[in-house]
C-alpha cells in the first residue's frame, strides 16, 4: 500500500493546479445546465474514450439485492438505506483521507443498518450477503450495445468504486472481458467517486484530456462528479435512478445502454 499512497500524493499534487483552473473554466458556467438538442448532440465530436460505471450501469444487481434483503429479515425497503449508507461512508473515508475497499465499507454499512433495525447480523453473515456482487449478470441491453460501440471504434474502459480484484471478477463473470481495454478501480488512487480527482486520474491514466472523455453511468451522483471534473457524461436512466437537479445536464440521456450507444455512434 505504501507505493499506492505515494502515487496518490503525487497525483493530488499534480492535479491541484488543474482543479483550481477548472473552477474558473467555462465548463462550470450555469449555461451547461441546459440540455442540448438531439441535433446538436449528434453533431458533436465523439469522445476519445468511454468510461463505464459497473454496478447498476452494466450489471443487474437483483441477485445481490435479494441476498442483502434476506440478511435484513426480508425487508426490501431497507435496501436503499443500505446503499446510501455505504456510499455515505465511502465519502467519509475519502474526505478523512482514509481508504477501505468498497466491499469492506459495504459490510460495515450493512451491519449498521441491521443494528438500527434490531436485526442480529454478524460480520460473516454480512459478507455472505453481499458476496453475489462478484457474479452478477449484465443487463440484457449491455452486451449488444458494447459490441456496437466497439465495432464503431470507441475506446472503452471501466471505472468503478469496487476493488481491483472485485471489478476483475465482475467483468470476467459477466462475460464482458473482451469489451474493455482497461478495468480501472478507485483502489489505485484510494479515493471514491464522485471525488473529482478520481475522474482526472482515470483520464490521466488513459493519457486523454478529461474534456475528451465521457463517463457512462446510471447514477446521478456519478455523472455529476464526472462533469464537475471536466468530463462529458451520458446518463443511463435505469429504473429508480435520477439525475441530480443541481448538476449540469448530461449531453446524452437514455433509458438504456442501447439508446446511449446509438446516440454516440451518430456523433461525428
Residue found by looking up cell 449555461 in the block: 31
Residue 265 CA to residue 268 CA, distance in Å, equals: 8
Instruction: Name residues of the chain where pLDDT drops below 70.
Output: 1-43
Contact 161, 215 (CB under 8 A): no
Q: What cell does 133 get?
A: 456482487
pLDDT of residue 249: 96
Task: Write down the pLDDT at residue 28.
Answer: 32
Give all strands of the β-sheet with 252-254 in edge-to-edge order.
182-185, 155-160, 49-52, 213-217, 232-236, 252-254
What's the CA gap between 156 and 152, in Å, rounded? 11
Superfamily of domain 2-60+136-266: HAD superfamily/HAD-like (3.40.50.1000)
The structural domains of the chain, with segments of one domain joined by +, span 2-60+136-266, 62-133
Q: What number of other Cβ atoms are within 10 A of residue 238's Cβ?
A: 17
pLDDT reported for residue 268: 81
pLDDT of residue 82: 97
User: What pLDDT was estimated at residue 240?
Assistant: 93
Taking the C-alpha atoms of residue 19 and residue 229, their distance in angstroms, rounded to an integer, is 8
What is the model's pLDDT at position 248?
96
How many residues would you count in the chain?
Answer: 268
Residue 184 three-state SS: strand
CB 132 within 8 A of CB 67: yes
One DSSP character per residue, 56-81 reads TTTB--HHHHHHHHHHTTT-GGGHHH
Q: CB atoms < 10 A from the CB of 30, how many? A: 7
Instruction: Report pLDDT for 12.
Output: 57
Phi/psi for 94 (5° steps) reads -65, -50
Sign of torsion over alpha carbons 36, 37, 42, 45: negative
Which of 1.10.357.10, 1.10.150.240, 2.40.50.140, 1.20.58.2240 is the CATH number of 62-133? 1.10.150.240
Amino acid at each position: 500500500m505504501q507505493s499506492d499512497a505515494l502515487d496518490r500524493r503525487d497525483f493530488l499534487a499534480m492535479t491541484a493546479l488543474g482543479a483550481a483552473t477548472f473552477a474558473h473554466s467555462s465548463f462550470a458556467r450555469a449555461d451547461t445546465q441546459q440540455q442540448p438538442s438531439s441535433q446538436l448532440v449528434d453533431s458533436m465530436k465523439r469522445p476519445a474514450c468511454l468510461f463505464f460505471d459497473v454496478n447498476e450501469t452494466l450489471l443487474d444487481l437483483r441477485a445481490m439485492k435479494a441476498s442483502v434483503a434476506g440478511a435484513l429479515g426480508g425487508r426490501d425497503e431497507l435496501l436503499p438505506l443500505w446503499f446510501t449508507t455505504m456510499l455515505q461512508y465511502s465519502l467519509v473515508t475519502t474526505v478523512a483521507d482514509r481508504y477501505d475497499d468498497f466491499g469492506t465499507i459495504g459490510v460495515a454499512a450493512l451491519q449498521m443498518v441491521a443494528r438500527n433495525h434490531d436485526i442480529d447480523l454478524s460480520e460473516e453473515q454480512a459478507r455472505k450477503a453481499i458476496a453475489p456482487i462478484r457474479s452478477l449478470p449484465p443487463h440484457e441491453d449491455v452486451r449488444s450495445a458494447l459490441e456496437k460501440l466497439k465495432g464503431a471504434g470507441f475506446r472503452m474502459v471501466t471505472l468503478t468504486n469496487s476493488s481491483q480484484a472485485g471489478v476483475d471478477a465482475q467483468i470476467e463473470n459477466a462475460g464482458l472481458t473482451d469489451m474493455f481495454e482497461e478495468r480501472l478501480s478507485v483502489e489505485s488512487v484510494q479515493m471514491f467517486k464522485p471525488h473529482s480527482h478520481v475522474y482526472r486520474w482515470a483520464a490521466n491514466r488513459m493519457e486523454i484530456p478529461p474534456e475528451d472523455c465521457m463517463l457512462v453511468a446510471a447514477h446521478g451522483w456519478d455523472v455529476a462528479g464526472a462533469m464537475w471534473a471536466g468530463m462529458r457524461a451520458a446518463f443511463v436512466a435505469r429504473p429508480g435512478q435520477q439525475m441530480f437537479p443541481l448538476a449540469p445536464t448530461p449531453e446524452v440521456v437514455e433509458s438504456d445502454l442501447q439508446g446511449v450507444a446509438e446516440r454516440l455512434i451518430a456523433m461525428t
